[in-house]
Amino acid sequence: MLSLQKIIITHFKNYEISSFSFDKSVVGICGLNGKGKTNLLDAIYYCCFTKSYFPGSDALNIHFNQEGFRIESSFLLNDKPHQIVVINRVNSKKEFYLNQSPYEKLSHHIGLLPAVIVAPDDIDIINGSSEGRRKYMDTMMSQLDIDYLQSLILYNKILIQRNSLLKNLAVNKIIDNGLLDVLDSQLVIPARIIFNKRKVFLEKLIPLIVEFYNKIAENDENLIPYYESKLAKNNYEELLSINRQKDMALQRTSDGIHRDDLLFELNHQVFKNIASQGQKKSLLFAMKLAEYEMIKSSKGFPPMLLLDDVFEKLDDNRIINLLDWVCNKNTGQVFITDTHKERLVNTFNRLNADGQIIEL
């Protein structure tokens, strides 16, 4: 079992110094626009993932005109206290402590305190480019499989080296196949590991997404998710050598697991081209709940669930369906933000959930 009991936020985004204690498993956070609801969820997310959910540099997370931020939080994991301290000062390396001990590598923390977040712009995972869908897969799988995360870190490192070599060669008009051969043979190793792990993982995830989708949408639309990867039908080493001329011209690596995608068909057409707003939202929630379920079954306890502005996204019935599943059929801790306190209180009452309300 995992729960957050307390968090003290200092100079993080709009917070100067604030302390919050949580004593229930369902926590409603309310406040007007700009009050810091999303930022509070992000501070929690930070403690789980060693970084913000939102893109951009850490400097943006420091309260205007301050020297740095600090987040201190107390979690209970299987009845044992886990204290996290994050210190991020301008121009110095981020410090991250678990029970007073610094981590040698931040990646070692990933997966200890699992969490799933649903944020307002997450609909981009469906509408946007493949990058968001890879991030979805990577965030989930990294929490469950340390080898996956380490392979991904290695792959990205070699990919950067390969791309900068391609650029260098083009700028200086040199052809150095030797060095490219070395990088290619290095890149193939983590690429194969990642491809195989994604394939196996998605075989379990995809049926869950379909099941949740049909439940949320309350119908039997024919949703077909599938994994797309060039590595499925090609030997990656051969592919790299076939692509070499093209890659040199483009000055980047055109194929690899950094181009993989998780695609969706609805009634045999491309989902994002034909789905309605509501169908897209249903799919987003289905993906997030499938993620929740995968983590829960793998870890043996549910991850924390951070729901930002879900009321703006779904109609009343869907909200009740969703929250009923989240609050009553699960034992995990849930944080839900809303601008309307009334709506939170009413929803908790309708669900018979023993919730705590925090007003910002």
Ligand X SMILES: Nc1ncnc2c1ncn2[C@@H]1O[C@H](COP(=O)(O)OP(=O)(O)OP(=O)(O)O)[C@@H](O)[C@H]1O
Options 14, 107, 130, 161; binder of ligand X; rule CB under 6 A:
14
Whole-number minimum distance, CB 253 to ligand X, in Å? 35
On whether the CB atoms of residues 269 and 223 are closer than 8 A, the answer is no
Size of the site for ligand X (CB under 6 A): 16
Q: What φ, ψ does residue 267 adopt, rounded to 5°? A: 45, 45
| Contacting ligand X within 322-351 (CB under 6 A) | 339
| Contacting ligand X within 52-91 (CB under 6 A) | 60, 62-64
**Which CB sits closer to ligand X, 37 or 82?**
37
Which residue is closest to Mg ion by CB? 38
Q: Does 13 bind ligand X (CB under 6 A)?
A: yes
Q: What φ, ψ does residue 194 adopt, rounded to 5°? A: -65, -45
63 binds, among ligand X, Mg ion, none (CB under 5 to 8 A by kind): ligand X
59 binds, among ligand X, Mg ion, none (CB under 5 to 8 A by kind): none
Exposed, middle or buried: residue 304 (CB in 10 Å: 0-12, 13-18, 19+)? Answer: buried
Contact residues toward Mg ion (CB under 5 A) are 37-38
237 binds, among ligand X, Mg ion, none (CB under 5 to 8 A by kind): none
What b/e sequence results for 210-228 when a residue is b if at least 16 CB atoms lie within 10 Å of its CB, and e otherwise?
Answer: bebbbbbbeeeeebebebe
62 binds, among Mg ion, ligand X, none (CB under 5 to 8 A by kind): ligand X
Options 1, 16, 34, 146; binder of ligand X; rule CB under 6 A:
34
User: Which of 24, 21, 66 is CA-nearest to residue 40?
Assistant: 21
**Which CB sits closer to ligand X, 33 or 78?**
33
Whole-number minimum distance, CB 58 to ligand X, in Å? 10
**Which CB sits closer to ligand X, 39 or 151?**
39
On whether the CB atoms of residues 198 and 260 are closer than 8 A, the answer is yes
User: Which of 291, 257, 232 is CA-nearest to residue 130?
Assistant: 257
Q: Does 37 bind ligand X (CB under 6 A)?
A: yes
**Element spanning 236, H or E:** helix 236-242
Tell me the C-alpha distance between 237 and 186, whole Å: 10
Q: Does 94 bind ligand X (CB under 6 A)?
A: no
Bridge partners, residue 81, by sequence: 76
